Amino acid sequence: MNIQTKFLGAIDIEERNILTFPEGIPGFEEYNKFIIIPLNETSPFLTLQSIDNAQVGFMIASPYAFKPNYAFDLTQSDVVQLNIEQPQDVVVYGILTLRDTLVNSTINLLAPIVVNEKQKLAKQIVLTNVEDDLLRYPLKVAEGSVK
């Protein structure tokens, strides 16, 4: 199947890799079908692309590249909704907001994308009772060595 994407032009995808977001994504509730495509072979960055609208394509990444100790519990409702049978079927991503500089760019760790790879079901969940400001977690902390 051939689709138009925001970052990678027209590409061929395997239909079996299409993810279903039963509730859509907050702010984009009308889109339910997405596919995750690596941006290139070497970087940890991927795109979460709507199948139905080329303009709806997010940049995402694994949270652990930015916050190695990132962890949360899935609620019973998430486990049921995503039909999760075993933890190893679950993959987690964060949506990136890439502003003018790397230091101003952030990953949303308050509302991670949780994917059940086995069932191809996904959801952006919202964590509650978290201490840090995880909504805009910096990709890189400002420090002297960063230009």
The binding site for another protein (CB under 8 A) comprises 6-7, 25-28, 39, 43, 45, 56-59, 75-78, 80-81, 95-102, 105, 108, 110-111, 124, 126, 128, 135-136, 139-140, 146-147
Other Cβ atoms less than 10 A from the Cβ of 104: the count is: 14
- Choice between 11 and 39, CB closer to another protein: 39
Separation CA 59–CA 47 (nearest Å): 5
User: Is the CB of 69 or the CB of 145 nearer to another protein?
Assistant: 145
Q: How far is CA 23 from each of CA 7, 28, 118, 121, 133, rounded to the nearest angstrom?
A: 24, 9, 18, 11, 25
Q: How far is the CB of 2 from another protein (least distance, A)?
A: 23
**Cβ closest to another protein, residue 90 vs residue 135:** 135
Smallest distance from another protein to CB 16, Å = 26
Amino acid at the residue 24: G
CB of residue 119 vs another protein: minimum separation in angstroms?
16
Q: What is the DSSP letter of 15?
A: G
What tokens appear for 116 in the block?
């059940």
